[in-house]
A = this chain, B = another copy of it.
Amino acid sequence: METLERKFTLQVPSSTENLALIREFVSSAATQAGFDEKEVAKLELAVDEACANVIEHAYGHDANKEVIVRARLDNEEFSIDIEDTGKGFDPAEINQEELEQLISKRKTGGLGMRLMKTLMDEVRYEIEPGKKNALHMSKRLKKSD
Q: Contact residues of A with B, CB < 8 Å?
A: 6-13, 17-18, 20-21, 24-25, 28, 32, 63, 66
B11/A9 in contact, CB under 8 A: yes
Of B6, B21, B32, the residue contacting A28 (CB under 8 A) is: B21
Given contacts A24-B21, A28-B20, A28-B21, contact A9 B6 (CB under 8 A): no
B7/A13 in contact, CB under 8 A: yes
Q: Which residue of B lies closest to A25 (CB)?
A: B21
Copies of this chain held together in the complex: 2
Q: Which residue of B lies closest to A12 (CB)?
A: B8
A11/B12 in contact, CB under 8 A: no
B13/A10 in contact, CB under 8 A: no
A28 to B12, CA, bound (A): 10
**Chain B positions within 8 Å of A28 at CB level:** 12, 18, 20-21, 24
A12 to B7, CA, bound (A): 6
12 A-B pairs within 8 Å (CB atoms) are namely A7-B13, A7-B66, A9-B11, A10-B10, A10-B11, A10-B25, A18-B28, A20-B28, A21-B25, A21-B28, A24-B28, A25-B25
**Chain B positions within 8 Å of A13 at CB level:** 6-8
Question: Could you tell me the distance in whole angstroms from the C-beta of A2 to the nearest C-beta in chain B?
Answer: 11
**Chain B positions within 8 Å of A32 at CB level:** 17
